[in-house]
Amino acid sequence: MMRLQLWPRARCLFDEPVQVKVAGLRSNQVVTMKARSTDERGRLFKSSAIYRADETGEVDLNRDPSLSGSYIGVEPMGLLWSLSPEILHKLFTKTKALIPHVVKISVYEEGEEGQMLAEVTNERFLIADGVSRVPVSEGNIRGVLFTPPGEGPFPAVLDLCTFVSETRACLLANKGFVVLTVAMFNDKPRDIKEFHLDLYQEAIDYLLKQPKVSFKGVGVLSRSKGGDVALALAAFVPGIEAIVWINGCSGSSVYPLFYKKHQILSQLSLDISKAIPTESGASIIKHVIEDPLAEKNKGSLVPVQKVKGRLLFVASGDDLNWDSKGYMDEMVERLKRHGKNNFESVYYPLAGHLLEPPYYPFCPSSFHIMTPFPVLWGGEPKAHIAAEVDLWEKIQEFFKTHLSCDPAKSTANL
């Protein structure tokens, strides 16, 4: 009898791999493996790959290479990360922690009109058993707080996500961290004219007051626009022990930054005319932002040399959003000139801008908040996905090492 199975189980956490196995086929039979999923906006994403069974009639995605399709070669999670939208330039939207990522995985006979032989459902949960989710609307803070089970104390992390999203914060809470996620942009991003550090200091103070949080300090997790705000927080606001900066900028990008009613950093402006259009309809905007090292822009540079906490810089070599590798290198050199050694850096040469938690559908292009057209994000798909898996472990280890208590006390499981 033909069987399609997911190991170790069909229900798992979002960042956990599954093993896809087919048994009961004919010896050396060629089949098409397919996956499909609908995101939170109701948009369909699909992937497919051709496999040949071994002599015993089995296909094991952990062992066997895809011959053609959405990816080629041995890619155990290829069906998930290669999920692509039916409509071009769409980003897979997964923001709500209480709604699982549901993927239908199926096996078909060879050929476009091949009959479906079997199908299974992979439910990928964001929130683990025992993790609490509490919406926060206190003072100027609008976010969601995730707390792991157990008595604590736990290390605390402020997640500066670009738009409202609970994905990264919830997955990190599953690992034993108290995480408050706050979005950089609200539902009317074009109305924003400036950023204020006071809001994020308020979020830091809120985290430190939580009964399960360690007293020592907090970590900050950031990417893209959140990167320069995270660095400024660490430079100007006390209580921050560890900062993860992913594909960000070294200056205050696009918006001026204020603290205690005074402007502390000027903004780096955009010149959209420098965007490079491509045949896909999406443009490369890597060089549309002003050079932070130009004399007129020196007031935008974040004084990273004032940061007392630990820094983890992460840059992608194929980031087509902006020159994150160049920004990282400049900040590392500046820190060295000031005799600082409170940093480490990670470089992924073939990864793109949108480094997500593991197994998130790879997005080559989508619309951008700052442009009237879609943009290319960059990244060679296989290398990008491998970077995401590697980085997710590095982030956890970095926060465990440099925050003040042991998150292993958590017992969160699916």
Domain final position from 75, 106, 125:
125
- Identify whether residues 290 and 375 lie together within a single domain: yes
- Identify whether residues 263 and 292 lie together within a single domain: yes
Task: Estimate to the nearest angstrom the gap between the alpha carbon of 207 and the chain centroid.
Answer: 22
- Identify whether residues 110 and 144 lie together within a single domain: no
What's the domain count of the chain? Answer: 2
pLDDT digits (tens, 9 = 90+) for 66-84: 999 999 999 999 999 999 9
| Residue 224 is a catalytic residue | yes
Q: Which ranges in 158-297 belong to alpha helices (H)?
A: 167-174, 197-208, 225-236
For the four alpha carbons of 103, 247, 380 and 157, in that order, the dihedral sign comes to: negative
Catalytic annotation, pick one of 101, 353, 384, 402: 353
- Identify whether residues 84 and 149 lie together within a single domain: no
Q: Say if strands 154-161 and 213-223 run parallel, antiparallel, or are unpaired.
A: parallel
pTM: 0.94
Give the chain's length. 414
Q: Which element (helix H / strand E) includes 398?
A: helix 381-402
| Domain at 78, CATH number | 2.60.40.2240
| Residue 353 is a catalytic residue | yes
Domain final position from 110, 125, 140:
125
| Domain at 278, CATH number | 3.40.50.1820
Catalytic annotation, pick one of 39, 228, 318, 319: 319
Catalytic annotation, pick one of 224, 283, 316, 365: 224
- Identify whether residues 258 and 172 lie together within a single domain: yes
Residue 276 lies in a domain: yes
Residue ranges making up the domain that contains 293: 132-409
Per-residue pLDDT tens digits of the chain, which is 414 residues long: 899 999 999 999 999 999 999 999 999 999 999 999 999 999 999 999 999 999 999 999 999 999 999 999 999 999 999 999 999 999 999 999 999 999 999 999 987 788 999 999 999 999 999 999 999 999 999 999 999 999 999 999 999 999 889 999 999 999 999 999 999 997 677 788 999 999 999 999 999 999 999 877 899 999 999 999 999 999 999 989 999 999 999 999 999 999 999 999 999 999 999 999 999 999 999 999 999 999 999 999 999 999 999 999 999 999 999 999 999 999 999 999 999 999 999 999 999 999 999 999 999 999 988 888 999 999 999 999 999 999 999 999 999 999 976 555 544 566
Residue 175 lies in a domain: yes
- Identify whether residues 96 and 238 lie together within a single domain: no
- Identify whether residues 100 and 188 lie together within a single domain: no
- Identify whether residues 91 and 235 lie together within a single domain: no
Domain final position from 66, 97, 125:
125
Q: Which residues contact 67 (CB under 8 A, 6 or more apart)?
A: 30, 49, 50, 51, 52
Residue 10 lies in a domain: yes
| Residue 291 is a catalytic residue | no
Residue 294 lies in a domain: yes
- Identify whether residues 265 and 176 lie together within a single domain: yes
Question: 152: buried, middle or exposed (CB in 10 Å: 19+, 13-18, 0-12)?
Answer: buried
Residue 414 lies in a domain: no
Give the 3-state secondary structure of residue 334: helix
pLDDT digits (tens, 9 = 90+) for 263-307: 999 999 999 999 999 999 999 999 999 999 999 999 999 999 999
